[in-house]
């Protein structure tokens, strides 16, 4: 299906600079743009590609001013990256959706299946489970007993949702995600071994949450591990038992949240961030890659990095000193050589 620059601009409420009649039928990255595709520019370090890209249409921010002539048609919008997301979502919505239950799936007689649900081959749906309208469950996924899956939620291949867990509406769980595995709970015994503590809680995932591939969210020891509305989790993220992640927080790959910690709203955790157990993080905090957080952060909008986590301005100054340590050590040694003898030390 083709769309003209005029149609796209009207849909995005953007402004055209160039040919309004040029048409596109696909997408491409700006550095590899092809004729007949739409691309975008939001990061200034990619600006030089706009003068050589072959993409027929490029979305740009309204404050972008070309330094020389541009051959492609531009559509100016408030936020090019967000506008691209809107267009991609539109294209996804236009694709035909699968529905129907495969005869090769196992559906417990006591399970409740909504209308226009898609359940692929080799899916298991346990006793008392509830699958909402328009949900999609791909091959080899497991839905345990008394699990609830909301409307329009998608479980990609191999997702496991263990018993009693609840998934809200409009969620996406990517391949291999595990929801409701046992929390890591063991009690030491006098002989040095560990006794397993039964994990009898569940996981509650609210609406519009996305969970990356091979991410694990552990069930609570008691009560619930809770992922609030709008949270986005990357691949390979570990969420331990009784954690609560509040609305619209995003967590990048290989990060881990230890047990019983609470992460505030609209926080950002970059890759490989580690949060210790039983602490609280205030709203709108940002943590740079590989930051370790051993204590609560009570000040909202804190920007932290390093281990232990310190304000990012302190981290940057410390990093500048750290890389100069060999030279500083050499300078100190030279100063020590030139010091006068100390009689008190018998020199």
DSSP letter assigned to residue 141: -
Q: Which stretch of DSSP H or E encloses residue 26?
A: strand 26-27
- CA-to-CA dists, residue 140 to 27, 143, 164, angstroms: 31, 10, 19
* Residues 145-201: tens digit of each pLDDT: 999 999 999 999 999 999 999 999 999 999 999 999 999 999 999 999 999 999 999
* Residues 16-73: tens digit of each pLDDT: 999 999 999 999 999 999 999 999 999 999 999 999 999 999 999 999 999 999 999 9
Output the pLDDT for position 5. 97
Work out the pLDDT band at 346, boundaries 50, 70, 90: low
Mean pLDDT, the chain, integer:
95
Average pLDDT over residues 103-119: 98
Work out the pLDDT band at 345, boundaries 50, 70, 90: low
Output the pLDDT for position 1. 80
DSSP letter assigned to residue 295: S
Average pLDDT over residues 289-313: 97
Output the pLDDT for position 347. 57
Report pTM.
0.87
Q: Where are the domains of the chain?
A: 3-94, 100-313
Please enumerate in sequence order all residues whose Cβ is within 8 A of that of 157, keeping only pairs 6 or more positions apart, or say none: 120, 138, 139, 140, 141, 175, 176
Which residues belong to the active site?
Answer: 241
Secondary structure percentages of the chain, helix, strand, coil, to 5: 20, 30, 55
What class is the 3-94 domain?
Answer: alpha beta
The two structure tokens encoding residue 250 = 């995003």
Pairing of strands 73-77, 15-17: antiparallel
* Residues 201-252: tens digit of each pLDDT: 999 999 999 999 999 999 999 999 999 999 999 999 999 999 999 999 999 9
Output the pLDDT for position 341. 76
Work out the pLDDT band at 338, boundaries 50, 70, 90: confident
Tell me how far apart the alpha carbons of residues 240 and 218 are, in angstroms, rounded to a whole number: 5
Neighbours of 327 (CB within 10 A): 9
Output the pLDDT for position 231. 98
Output the pLDDT for position 337. 85
Output the pLDDT for position 94. 84
Average pLDDT over residues 9-13: 96
CATH of domain 100-313: 2.160.10.10
DSSP 185-228: -EEE-TTS-EEEPP---EEEE-TT-EE-TT-EEEPPSSSEEEE-
* Residues 195-204: tens digit of each pLDDT: 999 999 999 9
């Amino acid at each position: 299906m083709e769309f003209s620059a005029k149609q796209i601009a009207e849909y995005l409420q953007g402004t055209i600079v160039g040919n309004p009649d040029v048409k596109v039928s696909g997408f491409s990255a700006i550095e590899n743009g092809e004729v007949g595709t739409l691309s975008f520019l939001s990061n200034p370090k990619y600006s030089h590609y706009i003068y050589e890209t072959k993409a027929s249409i490029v979305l740009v921010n309204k404050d972008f001013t070309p330094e020389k002539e541009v051959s492609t048609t531009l559509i100016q919008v408030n936020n090019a990256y967000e506008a691209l997301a809107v267009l991609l979502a539109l294209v996804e919505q236009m694709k035909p959706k699968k529905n129907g239950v495969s005869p090769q799936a196992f559906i417990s007689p006591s399970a409740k299946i909504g209308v226009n649900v898609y359940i692929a081959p080799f899916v298991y749906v346990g006793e008392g489970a509830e699958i909402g309208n328009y949900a999609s469950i791909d091959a080899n996924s497991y839905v345990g007993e008394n699990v609830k899956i909301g409307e329009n939620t998608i479980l990609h291949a191999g997702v496991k949702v263990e018993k009693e867990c609840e998934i809200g509406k409009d969620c996406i769980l990517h391949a291999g995600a595990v929801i409701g595995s046992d929390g890591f709970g063991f009690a030491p015994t006098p002989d040095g071994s560990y006794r397993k503590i039964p994990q009898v809680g569940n996981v509650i995932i609210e609406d519009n949450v996305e969970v990356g591939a091979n991410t694990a969210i552990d069930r609570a020891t008691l009560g619930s591990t809770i992922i609030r509305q709008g949270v986005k989790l990357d691949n390979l993220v570990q969420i331990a038992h009784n954690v609560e992640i509040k609305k619209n927080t995003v967590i990048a790959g290989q990060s881990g949240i230890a047990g019983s910690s609470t992460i505030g709203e609209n926080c950002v955790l970059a890759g490989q961030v580690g949060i210790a157990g039983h602490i609280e993080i205030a709203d709108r905090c940002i943590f740079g890659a590989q930051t370790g957080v051993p204590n609560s952060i009570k000040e909202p909008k804190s920007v932290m990095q390093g281990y232990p986590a310190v304000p990012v301005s302190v981290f940057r100054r410390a990093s500048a000193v750290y890389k100069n340590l060999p030279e500083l050590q050499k300078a100190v040694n030279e100063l020590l050589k030139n010091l006068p003898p100390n009689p008190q030390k018998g020199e």
